[in-house]
Protein backbone atom coordinates (compact mmCIF):
# COMPACT_ATOMS: atom_id res chain seq x y z
CA UNK A 1 0.00 0.00 0.00
CA UNK A 2 1.09 3.59 -0.64
CA UNK A 3 1.80 5.56 2.56
CA UNK A 4 1.44 9.31 2.91
CA UNK A 5 5.23 9.66 2.90
CA UNK A 6 5.55 7.62 -0.30
CA UNK A 7 2.80 9.66 -1.92
CA UNK A 8 4.61 12.87 -1.00
CA UNK A 9 7.76 11.52 -2.64
CA UNK A 10 5.80 10.78 -5.82
CA UNK A 11 4.35 14.30 -5.67
CA UNK A 12 7.80 15.88 -5.33
CA UNK A 13 9.03 13.95 -8.38
CA UNK A 14 5.83 14.32 -10.39
CA UNK A 15 7.24 16.72 -12.96
CA UNK A 16 10.31 14.66 -13.84
CA UNK A 17 10.24 12.46 -16.97
CA UNK A 18 8.92 8.95 -16.34
CA UNK A 19 7.22 9.87 -13.07
CA UNK A 20 3.81 8.52 -12.07
CA UNK A 21 0.75 10.41 -13.28
CA UNK A 22 -1.67 8.40 -11.12
CA UNK A 23 -1.04 6.83 -7.73
CA UNK A 24 -3.58 4.39 -6.25
CA UNK A 25 -4.50 5.30 -2.68
CA UNK A 26 -5.86 2.24 -0.89
CA UNK A 27 -7.85 1.65 2.28
CA UNK A 28 -8.34 -1.84 3.67
CA UNK A 29 -11.71 -2.51 5.31
CA UNK A 30 -12.97 -5.57 7.18
CA UNK A 31 -15.91 -6.78 5.12
CA UNK A 32 -16.68 -10.27 6.37
CA UNK A 33 -20.42 -9.51 6.59
CA UNK A 34 -20.61 -8.27 3.01
CA UNK A 35 -20.59 -10.03 -0.35
CA UNK A 36 -19.33 -8.68 -3.67
CA UNK A 37 -22.94 -8.11 -4.69
CA UNK A 38 -23.83 -6.20 -1.52
CA UNK A 39 -20.72 -4.04 -1.99
CA UNK A 40 -21.75 -3.36 -5.59
CA UNK A 41 -25.25 -2.35 -4.50
CA UNK A 42 -23.92 -0.05 -1.77
CA UNK A 43 -21.16 1.65 -3.76
CA UNK A 44 -21.76 1.21 -7.47
CA UNK A 45 -25.43 0.65 -8.28
CA UNK A 46 -25.45 3.31 -11.00
CA UNK A 47 -24.58 3.77 -14.69
CA UNK A 48 -20.99 3.25 -15.87
CA UNK A 49 -20.18 0.64 -13.25
CA UNK A 50 -19.26 -3.01 -13.31
CA UNK A 51 -18.80 -6.18 -11.27
CA UNK A 52 -16.26 -8.82 -12.35
CA UNK A 53 -16.08 -12.21 -10.63
CA UNK A 54 -14.70 -15.68 -11.31
CA UNK A 55 -15.41 -19.28 -10.44
CA UNK A 56 -12.52 -21.59 -11.23
CA UNK A 57 -13.34 -24.84 -13.01
CA UNK A 58 -17.04 -24.17 -12.55
CA UNK A 59 -16.76 -25.01 -8.85
CA UNK A 60 -14.73 -22.60 -6.70
CA UNK A 61 -14.95 -18.82 -6.45
CA UNK A 62 -11.77 -17.02 -7.47
CA UNK A 63 -9.97 -15.04 -4.82
CA UNK A 64 -10.86 -11.55 -6.01
CA UNK A 65 -14.05 -9.83 -7.11
CA UNK A 66 -13.70 -6.37 -8.64
CA UNK A 67 -16.36 -3.69 -8.30
CA UNK A 68 -16.04 -0.64 -10.51
CA UNK A 69 -17.48 2.59 -9.10
CA UNK A 70 -19.09 5.08 -11.52
CA UNK A 71 -16.56 5.92 -14.23
CA UNK A 72 -16.16 9.61 -14.97
CA UNK A 73 -14.85 8.94 -18.49
CA UNK A 74 -16.35 6.57 -21.10
CA UNK A 75 -14.82 5.96 -24.54
CA UNK A 76 -16.77 4.52 -27.48
CA UNK A 77 -15.92 3.59 -31.06
CA UNK A 78 -18.60 3.38 -33.75
CA UNK A 79 -16.96 2.51 -37.02
CA UNK A 80 -13.87 4.71 -37.05
CA UNK A 81 -15.36 7.51 -34.94
CA UNK A 82 -13.99 7.70 -31.41
CA UNK A 83 -16.01 9.64 -28.83
CA UNK A 84 -14.94 10.49 -25.30
CA UNK A 85 -17.48 11.55 -22.68
CA UNK A 86 -16.71 12.94 -19.24
CA UNK A 87 -19.61 12.81 -16.78
CA UNK A 88 -21.88 12.07 -19.76
CA UNK A 89 -20.82 15.16 -21.73
CA UNK A 90 -19.09 14.78 -25.11
CA UNK A 91 -15.56 16.24 -24.87
CA UNK A 92 -13.93 14.73 -27.97
CA UNK A 93 -15.09 13.21 -31.25
CA UNK A 94 -12.77 12.38 -34.13
CA UNK A 95 -12.06 9.96 -36.96
CA UNK A 96 -9.33 7.43 -36.19
CA UNK A 97 -7.50 5.11 -38.55
CA UNK A 98 -6.88 2.27 -36.09
CA UNK A 99 -9.22 1.97 -33.08
CA UNK A 100 -7.05 -0.74 -31.49
CA UNK A 101 -4.03 1.59 -31.56
CA UNK A 102 -6.16 4.32 -29.95
CA UNK A 103 -7.14 1.91 -27.18
CA UNK A 104 -3.48 1.17 -26.50
CA UNK A 105 -2.76 4.92 -26.40
CA UNK A 106 -5.57 5.37 -23.86
CA UNK A 107 -4.16 2.54 -21.77
CA UNK A 108 -0.66 3.99 -21.85
CA UNK A 109 -1.64 7.58 -21.04
CA UNK A 110 -0.94 7.10 -17.33
CA UNK A 111 2.08 5.76 -15.49
CA UNK A 112 0.93 3.98 -12.32
CA UNK A 113 2.90 2.04 -9.68
CA UNK A 114 2.11 -1.63 -9.11
CA UNK A 115 0.70 -2.60 -5.72
CA UNK A 116 1.84 -5.72 -3.90
CA UNK A 117 -0.81 -7.95 -2.35
CA UNK A 118 -3.57 -7.01 -4.78
CA UNK A 119 -4.71 -8.58 -8.06
CA UNK A 120 -3.09 -7.57 -11.33
CA UNK A 121 -5.95 -5.18 -12.12
CA UNK A 122 -6.35 -2.17 -9.85
CA UNK A 123 -7.53 0.28 -12.50
CA UNK A 124 -7.53 0.88 -16.23
CA UNK A 125 -10.04 0.18 -19.00
CA UNK A 126 -13.10 -2.06 -18.60
CA UNK A 127 -15.72 -2.84 -21.21
CA UNK A 128 -16.29 -4.72 -24.44
CA UNK A 129 -14.98 -5.25 -27.95
CA UNK A 130 -17.99 -6.24 -30.06
CA UNK A 131 -17.91 -8.94 -32.74
CA UNK A 132 -17.99 -6.36 -35.54
CA UNK A 133 -14.48 -5.24 -34.51
CA UNK A 134 -13.41 -7.80 -37.11
CA UNK A 135 -13.76 -4.92 -39.58
CA UNK A 136 -10.81 -3.18 -37.91
CA UNK A 137 -8.64 -6.26 -38.54
CA UNK A 138 -9.95 -7.32 -41.97
CA UNK A 139 -11.35 -4.26 -43.77
CA UNK A 140 -13.24 -6.41 -46.28
CA UNK A 141 -15.34 -7.71 -43.37
CA UNK A 142 -16.39 -4.21 -42.30
CA UNK A 143 -19.98 -3.12 -42.68
CA UNK A 144 -22.31 -5.64 -44.28
CA UNK A 145 -26.01 -5.59 -45.01
CA UNK A 146 -27.30 -7.30 -41.85
CA UNK A 147 -29.47 -5.04 -39.66
CA UNK A 148 -27.85 -3.61 -36.52
CA UNK A 149 -30.82 -4.17 -34.23
CA UNK A 150 -29.06 -3.43 -30.92
CA UNK A 151 -27.05 -0.43 -32.18
CA UNK A 152 -24.29 -0.80 -29.58
CA UNK A 153 -20.79 0.64 -30.11
CA UNK A 154 -18.18 -1.70 -31.55
CA UNK A 155 -15.98 -0.79 -28.58
CA UNK A 156 -17.07 0.63 -25.23
CA UNK A 157 -14.53 1.19 -22.45
CA UNK A 158 -14.93 2.77 -19.03
CA UNK A 159 -11.86 4.45 -17.53
CA UNK A 160 -11.87 2.86 -14.08
CA UNK A 161 -10.11 4.99 -11.46
CA UNK A 162 -12.27 4.22 -8.42
CA UNK A 163 -12.92 0.62 -7.52
CA UNK A 164 -13.32 -1.88 -4.73
CA UNK A 165 -11.45 -5.19 -4.67
CA UNK A 166 -13.12 -7.89 -2.59
CA UNK A 167 -10.77 -10.57 -1.24
CA UNK A 168 -13.03 -13.63 -0.99
CA UNK A 169 -10.34 -15.60 0.84
CA UNK A 170 -9.68 -13.13 3.66
CA UNK A 171 -13.04 -11.39 3.85
CA UNK A 172 -11.31 -8.04 3.30
CA UNK A 173 -12.20 -5.20 1.02
CA UNK A 174 -9.74 -2.78 -0.58
CA UNK A 175 -11.12 0.59 -1.61
CA UNK A 176 -8.95 2.15 -4.32
CA UNK A 177 -8.98 5.78 -5.45
CA UNK A 178 -6.45 7.01 -8.01
CA UNK A 179 -4.92 10.39 -7.23
CA UNK A 180 -2.89 12.69 -9.45
CA UNK A 181 0.33 13.51 -7.54
CA UNK A 182 0.76 16.66 -9.66
CA UNK A 183 -2.32 18.21 -8.05
CA UNK A 184 -2.26 20.09 -4.77
CA UNK A 185 -4.17 18.38 -1.93
CA UNK A 186 -4.39 15.15 -3.97
CA UNK A 187 -3.71 12.97 -0.92
CA UNK A 188 -6.23 14.80 1.25
CA UNK A 189 -8.89 14.64 -1.46
CA UNK A 190 -8.31 10.91 -1.91
CA UNK A 191 -8.66 10.35 1.84
CA UNK A 192 -11.90 12.33 1.90
CA UNK A 193 -13.25 10.20 -0.93
CA UNK A 194 -12.24 7.02 0.89
CA UNK A 195 -13.95 8.32 4.05
CA UNK A 196 -17.18 8.82 2.10
CA UNK A 197 -17.00 5.35 0.56
CA UNK A 198 -16.28 3.75 3.94
CA UNK A 199 -19.32 5.48 5.44
CA UNK A 200 -21.54 4.18 2.64
CA UNK A 201 -20.09 0.72 3.01
CA UNK A 202 -20.94 0.57 6.72
CA UNK A 203 -24.54 1.59 6.21
CA UNK A 204 -27.03 -1.30 6.28
CA UNK A 205 -28.07 -2.56 2.88
CA UNK A 206 -31.67 -2.03 1.87
CA UNK A 207 -32.39 -3.79 -1.38
CA UNK A 208 -35.76 -2.61 -2.73
CA UNK A 209 -38.67 -4.94 -3.37
CA UNK A 210 -39.00 -6.54 -6.83
CA UNK A 211 -40.41 -4.23 -9.48
CA UNK A 212 -41.99 -7.06 -11.50
CA UNK A 213 -43.48 -10.45 -10.81
CA UNK A 214 -43.84 -11.81 -14.32
CA UNK A 215 -43.79 -15.42 -15.42
CA UNK A 216 -41.20 -16.00 -18.15
CA UNK A 217 -39.88 -19.24 -19.52
CA UNK A 218 -37.99 -20.53 -22.53
CA UNK A 219 -41.09 -20.48 -24.72
CA UNK A 220 -41.35 -16.68 -24.42
CA UNK A 221 -38.01 -16.12 -26.18
CA UNK A 222 -38.34 -15.33 -29.90
CA UNK A 223 -35.51 -16.28 -32.28
CA UNK A 224 -34.25 -13.76 -34.79
CA UNK A 225 -33.47 -16.72 -37.07
CA UNK A 226 -36.56 -18.98 -36.77
CA UNK A 227 -36.13 -22.72 -36.49
CA UNK A 228 -36.49 -23.36 -40.22
CA UNK A 229 -34.14 -20.51 -41.09
CA UNK A 230 -31.47 -21.89 -38.78
CA UNK A 231 -31.81 -25.40 -40.23
CA UNK A 232 -31.45 -23.98 -43.76
CA UNK A 233 -28.34 -22.04 -42.72
CA UNK A 234 -26.78 -25.22 -41.32
CA UNK A 235 -27.43 -27.01 -44.61
CA UNK A 236 -25.90 -24.12 -46.57
CA UNK A 237 -22.85 -24.21 -44.29
CA UNK A 238 -22.44 -27.93 -44.98
CA UNK A 239 -22.49 -27.16 -48.71
CA UNK A 240 -19.54 -24.80 -48.19
CA UNK A 241 -17.75 -27.48 -46.17
CA UNK A 242 -18.30 -30.12 -48.87
CA UNK A 243 -17.00 -27.65 -51.47
CA UNK A 244 -13.80 -27.20 -49.45
CA UNK A 245 -14.42 -23.52 -48.64
CA UNK A 246 -14.31 -24.10 -44.86
CA UNK A 247 -13.77 -26.89 -42.36
CA UNK A 248 -16.11 -25.50 -39.73
CA UNK A 249 -18.30 -22.48 -39.07
CA UNK A 250 -20.07 -21.36 -35.90
CA UNK A 251 -23.66 -20.29 -36.57
CA UNK A 252 -25.58 -18.49 -33.85
CA UNK A 253 -29.11 -17.37 -33.16
CA UNK A 254 -30.35 -14.50 -31.00
CA UNK A 255 -33.36 -15.08 -28.75
CA UNK A 256 -35.16 -12.04 -27.33
CA UNK A 257 -37.89 -11.37 -24.78
CA UNK A 258 -39.52 -8.27 -23.23
CA UNK A 259 -37.86 -7.56 -19.89
CA UNK A 260 -38.69 -4.97 -17.23
CA UNK A 261 -37.07 -6.34 -14.07
CA UNK A 262 -33.79 -5.11 -12.61
CA UNK A 263 -30.84 -6.14 -14.78
CA UNK A 264 -28.70 -6.76 -11.69
CA UNK A 265 -31.23 -9.41 -10.63
CA UNK A 266 -30.35 -11.40 -13.75
CA UNK A 267 -26.75 -11.33 -12.57
CA UNK A 268 -27.78 -12.42 -9.07
CA UNK A 269 -29.68 -15.38 -10.47
CA UNK A 270 -27.00 -16.30 -13.02
CA UNK A 271 -24.30 -16.16 -10.35
CA UNK A 272 -26.20 -18.79 -8.36
CA UNK A 273 -27.35 -20.94 -11.29
CA UNK A 274 -24.28 -20.99 -13.55
CA UNK A 275 -21.05 -19.87 -11.85
CA UNK A 276 -18.28 -19.65 -14.46
CA UNK A 277 -14.65 -18.55 -14.86
CA UNK A 278 -15.82 -15.16 -16.17
CA UNK A 279 -18.86 -13.54 -14.59
CA UNK A 280 -19.66 -9.93 -15.30
CA UNK A 281 -22.28 -7.24 -14.91
CA UNK A 282 -21.74 -4.02 -16.85
CA UNK A 283 -24.14 -1.09 -16.57
CA UNK A 284 -23.34 1.57 -19.16
CA UNK A 285 -26.57 3.53 -18.80
CA UNK A 286 -28.76 2.62 -21.75
CA UNK A 287 -27.35 -0.92 -21.98
CA UNK A 288 -26.64 -3.59 -19.39
CA UNK A 289 -24.55 -6.68 -20.14
CA UNK A 290 -24.80 -9.76 -17.93
CA UNK A 291 -22.73 -12.88 -18.48
CA UNK A 292 -21.16 -16.06 -17.16
CA UNK A 293 -18.69 -17.02 -19.86
CA UNK A 294 -16.62 -20.19 -19.54
CA UNK A 295 -13.98 -19.13 -22.07
CA UNK A 296 -10.98 -16.82 -22.26
CA UNK A 297 -10.52 -14.83 -25.44
CA UNK A 298 -6.97 -14.02 -24.37
CA UNK A 299 -5.11 -13.32 -21.15
CA UNK A 300 -1.93 -11.25 -21.05
CA UNK A 301 0.06 -11.43 -17.83
CA UNK A 302 3.37 -9.76 -17.03
CA UNK A 303 5.74 -11.96 -15.05
CA UNK A 304 7.47 -9.10 -13.23
CA UNK A 305 10.72 -9.75 -15.10
CA UNK A 306 9.98 -7.80 -18.24
CA UNK A 307 8.16 -10.59 -20.11
CA UNK A 308 4.49 -11.40 -20.66
CA UNK A 309 2.63 -14.65 -21.21
CA UNK A 310 -0.22 -14.97 -23.70
CA UNK A 311 -2.92 -17.52 -22.85
CA UNK A 312 -5.81 -18.77 -24.96
CA UNK A 313 -8.06 -21.57 -23.78
CA UNK A 314 -10.22 -23.05 -26.54
CA UNK A 315 -13.52 -24.68 -25.59
CA UNK A 316 -15.20 -26.92 -28.15
CA UNK A 317 -17.30 -30.01 -27.60
CA UNK A 318 -20.50 -29.82 -25.58
CA UNK A 319 -22.95 -32.16 -23.86
CA UNK A 320 -25.91 -31.42 -21.63
CA UNK A 321 -25.39 -32.37 -17.97
CA UNK A 322 -26.75 -35.70 -16.80
CA UNK A 323 -29.58 -36.02 -14.29
CA UNK A 324 -27.48 -38.35 -12.10
CA UNK A 325 -23.75 -38.73 -11.46
CA UNK A 326 -23.74 -41.98 -13.43
CA UNK A 327 -25.45 -40.37 -16.41
CA UNK A 328 -23.09 -37.38 -16.17
CA UNK A 329 -20.02 -39.63 -16.30
CA UNK A 330 -21.49 -41.59 -19.20
CA UNK A 331 -22.07 -38.36 -21.12
CA UNK A 332 -18.47 -37.28 -20.39
CA UNK A 333 -17.14 -40.56 -21.78
CA UNK A 334 -19.38 -40.23 -24.84
CA UNK A 335 -18.21 -36.65 -25.44
CA UNK A 336 -14.52 -37.53 -25.19
CA UNK A 337 -14.98 -40.51 -27.52
CA UNK A 338 -17.02 -38.65 -30.15
CA UNK A 339 -14.88 -38.40 -33.34
CA UNK A 340 -16.70 -35.25 -34.52
CA UNK A 341 -16.16 -33.46 -31.20
CA UNK A 342 -12.50 -34.52 -30.98
CA UNK A 343 -11.77 -33.44 -34.54
CA UNK A 344 -13.45 -30.07 -33.98
CA UNK A 345 -11.54 -29.53 -30.74
CA UNK A 346 -8.18 -30.47 -32.29
CA UNK A 347 -8.82 -28.03 -35.11
CA UNK A 348 -9.45 -25.26 -32.59
CA UNK A 349 -6.33 -26.12 -30.60
CA UNK A 350 -4.37 -25.70 -33.85
CA UNK A 351 -6.12 -22.40 -34.51
CA UNK A 352 -5.27 -21.23 -30.98
CA UNK A 353 -1.63 -22.21 -31.49
CA UNK A 354 -1.57 -20.31 -34.76
CA UNK A 355 -3.15 -17.19 -33.21
CA UNK A 356 -0.82 -17.22 -30.19
CA UNK A 357 2.17 -17.94 -32.44
CA UNK A 358 1.62 -14.72 -34.38
CA UNK A 359 2.56 -12.64 -31.31
CA UNK A 360 4.82 -15.06 -29.39
CA UNK A 361 8.53 -15.70 -29.49
CA UNK A 362 9.56 -18.62 -31.67
CA UNK A 363 9.53 -21.93 -29.83
CA UNK A 364 7.54 -20.69 -26.82
CA UNK A 365 4.02 -21.72 -27.87
CA UNK A 366 2.92 -24.76 -25.87
CA UNK A 367 -0.26 -26.76 -25.38
CA UNK A 368 -0.68 -27.43 -21.66
CA UNK A 369 -3.93 -29.00 -20.55
CA UNK A 370 -5.62 -30.98 -23.32
CA UNK A 371 -9.10 -32.48 -23.54
CA UNK A 372 -10.06 -31.58 -19.96
CA UNK A 373 -13.76 -31.71 -19.07
CA UNK A 374 -15.20 -28.67 -17.28
CA UNK A 375 -18.73 -28.83 -15.90
CA UNK A 376 -21.27 -26.03 -15.60
CA UNK A 377 -24.88 -25.98 -14.48
CA UNK A 378 -26.45 -27.15 -17.75
CA UNK A 379 -23.55 -28.27 -19.96
CA UNK A 380 -20.06 -29.75 -19.92
CA UNK A 381 -17.26 -28.81 -22.33
CA UNK A 382 -13.91 -30.08 -23.59
CA UNK A 383 -11.19 -27.53 -22.73
CA UNK A 384 -7.49 -27.14 -23.62
CA UNK A 385 -4.92 -24.41 -22.94
CA UNK A 386 -2.33 -22.77 -25.21
CA UNK A 387 0.37 -20.37 -23.96
CA UNK A 388 3.22 -18.39 -25.49
CA UNK A 389 5.78 -15.73 -24.50
CA UNK A 390 4.83 -12.34 -25.95
CA UNK A 391 7.28 -10.82 -28.41
CA UNK A 392 9.08 -7.76 -26.99
CA UNK A 393 7.51 -4.45 -27.91
CA UNK A 394 4.01 -5.81 -28.46
CA UNK A 395 0.91 -4.87 -26.46
CA UNK A 396 -2.60 -6.12 -25.88
CA UNK A 397 -3.70 -4.30 -29.04
CA UNK A 398 -1.35 -6.53 -31.06
CA UNK A 399 -2.57 -9.64 -29.24
CA UNK A 400 -6.17 -8.67 -29.94
CA UNK A 401 -5.45 -8.29 -33.66
CA UNK A 402 -3.93 -11.79 -33.67
CA UNK A 403 -6.64 -13.60 -31.72
CA UNK A 404 -9.91 -11.75 -32.40
CA UNK A 405 -12.45 -13.19 -32.80
CA UNK A 406 -11.90 -16.59 -31.21
CA UNK A 407 -11.99 -19.59 -33.50
CA UNK A 408 -14.58 -21.14 -31.18
CA UNK A 409 -17.13 -18.49 -32.21
CA UNK A 410 -16.11 -18.15 -35.86
CA UNK A 411 -14.67 -21.30 -37.46
CA UNK A 412 -11.80 -22.31 -39.73
CA UNK A 413 -10.25 -21.04 -41.86
CA UNK A 414 -11.22 -18.02 -39.82
CA UNK A 415 -11.60 -15.33 -42.49
CA UNK A 416 -13.71 -17.45 -44.84
CA UNK A 417 -15.81 -18.66 -41.89
CA UNK A 418 -16.44 -15.02 -40.94
CA UNK A 419 -17.61 -14.33 -44.48
CA UNK A 420 -20.06 -17.25 -44.23
CA UNK A 421 -21.36 -15.95 -40.90
CA UNK A 422 -21.93 -12.52 -42.41
CA UNK A 423 -23.79 -14.12 -45.33
CA UNK A 424 -26.01 -16.49 -43.32
CA UNK A 425 -26.80 -14.82 -39.99
CA UNK A 426 -29.75 -12.41 -40.30
CA UNK A 427 -28.53 -9.71 -37.85
CA UNK A 428 -25.26 -8.27 -36.56
CA UNK A 429 -23.86 -9.98 -33.49
CA UNK A 430 -22.92 -6.79 -31.58
CA UNK A 431 -21.52 -7.70 -28.14
CA UNK A 432 -22.07 -11.45 -28.63
CA UNK A 433 -18.91 -13.43 -29.54
CA UNK A 434 -16.73 -10.36 -29.01
CA UNK A 435 -14.86 -9.93 -25.74
CA UNK A 436 -15.50 -8.47 -22.29
CA UNK A 437 -12.95 -7.71 -19.60
CA UNK A 438 -10.19 -5.36 -18.58
CA UNK A 439 -6.90 -3.86 -19.74
CA UNK A 440 -4.81 -2.68 -16.80
CA UNK A 441 -2.51 0.31 -16.54
CA UNK A 442 0.55 -1.94 -16.83
CA UNK A 443 -0.60 -3.74 -19.97
CA UNK A 444 -2.00 -6.84 -18.27
CA UNK A 445 -5.34 -7.87 -19.73
CA UNK A 446 -7.94 -10.55 -19.15
CA UNK A 447 -10.87 -10.79 -21.53
CA UNK A 448 -13.59 -13.40 -21.91
CA UNK A 449 -15.41 -14.40 -25.05
CA UNK A 450 -18.87 -12.83 -24.76
CA UNK A 451 -20.89 -16.04 -24.75
CA UNK A 452 -23.57 -17.10 -22.22
CA UNK A 453 -24.26 -13.38 -22.16
CA UNK A 454 -27.44 -11.30 -22.06
CA UNK A 455 -27.71 -7.77 -23.42
CA UNK A 456 -30.53 -5.63 -22.03
CA UNK A 457 -31.65 -2.53 -23.91
CA UNK A 458 -34.90 -0.61 -24.45
CA UNK A 459 -37.03 -3.00 -22.42
CA UNK A 460 -35.83 -6.15 -24.15
CA UNK A 461 -33.34 -8.82 -23.18
CA UNK A 462 -31.30 -10.67 -25.80
CA UNK A 463 -29.46 -13.98 -25.48
CA UNK A 464 -27.34 -15.41 -28.30
CA UNK A 465 -25.80 -18.88 -28.65
CA UNK A 466 -23.96 -20.73 -31.39
CA UNK A 467 -23.05 -24.21 -32.58
CA UNK A 468 -20.04 -25.42 -34.55
CA UNK A 469 -21.10 -26.79 -37.93
CA UNK A 470 -18.92 -29.47 -39.57
CA UNK A 471 -19.39 -31.81 -42.55
CA UNK A 472 -21.53 -34.39 -40.71
CA UNK A 473 -23.53 -32.02 -38.48
CA UNK A 474 -27.14 -32.92 -37.76
CA UNK A 475 -29.06 -29.62 -38.15
CA UNK A 476 -31.59 -30.48 -35.43
CA UNK A 477 -28.83 -31.36 -32.96
CA UNK A 478 -27.07 -28.08 -33.72
CA UNK A 479 -30.31 -26.21 -33.00
CA UNK A 480 -30.58 -28.14 -29.72
CA UNK A 481 -26.99 -27.22 -28.83
CA UNK A 482 -27.75 -23.50 -29.13
CA UNK A 483 -30.77 -23.96 -26.87
CA UNK A 484 -28.77 -25.97 -24.31
CA UNK A 485 -26.16 -23.23 -24.16
CA UNK A 486 -28.85 -20.62 -23.56
CA UNK A 487 -30.70 -22.50 -20.84
CA UNK A 488 -28.83 -21.18 -17.81
CA UNK A 489 -29.59 -17.65 -18.97
CA UNK A 490 -33.23 -18.52 -19.69
CA UNK A 491 -33.57 -19.73 -16.10
CA UNK A 492 -31.78 -16.69 -14.68
CA UNK A 493 -34.04 -14.35 -16.64
CA UNK A 494 -37.11 -16.25 -15.41
CA UNK A 495 -35.92 -15.95 -11.79
CA UNK A 496 -35.27 -12.21 -12.15
CA UNK A 497 -38.61 -11.60 -13.86
CA UNK A 498 -40.65 -13.23 -11.11
CA UNK A 499 -38.81 -11.27 -8.42
CA UNK A 500 -35.88 -12.44 -6.30
Q: Which DSSP helix (H) or strand (E) runs through 248?
A: strand 248-258
255 CB-side CA count, 13 A: 24
Name beta bridge partners: 461. Answer: 257, 456
The phi and psi torsions of 351 (rounded to 5 degrees) equal: -65, -40
Q: What span, in angstroms and rounded, lies between the C-alpha atoms of 146 and 224? A: 12
**Of 224, 432, 462, 482, which one is the catalytic site residue?**
432
Name beta bridge partners: 164. Answer: 67, 175
Q: What span, in angstroms and rounded, lies between the C-alpha atoms of 69 and 439? A: 16
- Cα dihedral 174, 179, 181, 187 in deg (nearest 10): -70
Distant-in-sequence, close-in-space partners of 353: CB < 8 Å, separation ≥ 6: 365, 367, 386
The phi and psi torsions of 387 (rounded to 5 degrees) equal: -130, 160
Q: What span, in angstroms and rounded, lies between the C-alpha atoms of 365 and 385? A: 11
**Of 48, 299, 313, 381, which one is the catalytic site residue?**
381
**Of 120, 123, 468, 486, which one is the catalytic site residue?**
468
User: Three-class SS of residue 223?
Assistant: strand
Using alpha carbons, list the distances in angstroms from residue 275 to 40, 292, 438, 450.
18, 7, 19, 15
Q: Is 35 a catalytic residue?
A: no
Largest CA distance in the chain: 70
Q: What single-letter DSSP state applies at residue 291? A: E
User: Is the CB of residue 468 less than 8 Å from the CB of residue 406?
Assistant: no
**Of 48, 299, 452, 462, which one is the catalytic site residue?**
452
The phi and psi torsions of 21 (rounded to 5 degrees) equal: -100, -15
Q: Is 408 a catalytic residue?
A: yes
Q: Is 85 a catalytic residue?
A: no
Give the end-to-end CA distance of the chain in Å, rounded to a whole number: 38
Q: Is 452 a catalytic residue?
A: yes
Residue 67, class by beta-carbon neighbours within 10 Å (0-12 exposed, 13-18 middle, 19+ buried)? buried
**Of 49, 318, 403, 408, which one is the catalytic site residue?**
408
Residue positions annotated with a catalytic role: 381, 408, 432, 452, 468
Amino acid sequence: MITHTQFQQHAENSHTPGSYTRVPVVREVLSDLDTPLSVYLKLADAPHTYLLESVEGGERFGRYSIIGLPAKRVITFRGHVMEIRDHGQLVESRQVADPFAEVEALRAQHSVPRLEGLPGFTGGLVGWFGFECIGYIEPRLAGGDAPDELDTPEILLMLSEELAVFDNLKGRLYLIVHADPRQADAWENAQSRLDALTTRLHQPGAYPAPITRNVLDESHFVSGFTHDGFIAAVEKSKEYIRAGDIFQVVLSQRLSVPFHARPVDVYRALRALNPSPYMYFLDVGDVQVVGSSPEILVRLEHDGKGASEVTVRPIAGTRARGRTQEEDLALEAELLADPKERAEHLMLIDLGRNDAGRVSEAGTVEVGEQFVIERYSHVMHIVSEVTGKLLPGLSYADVLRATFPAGTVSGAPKIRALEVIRELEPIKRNVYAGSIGYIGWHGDADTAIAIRTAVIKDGRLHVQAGAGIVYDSDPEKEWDETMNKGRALFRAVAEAAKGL
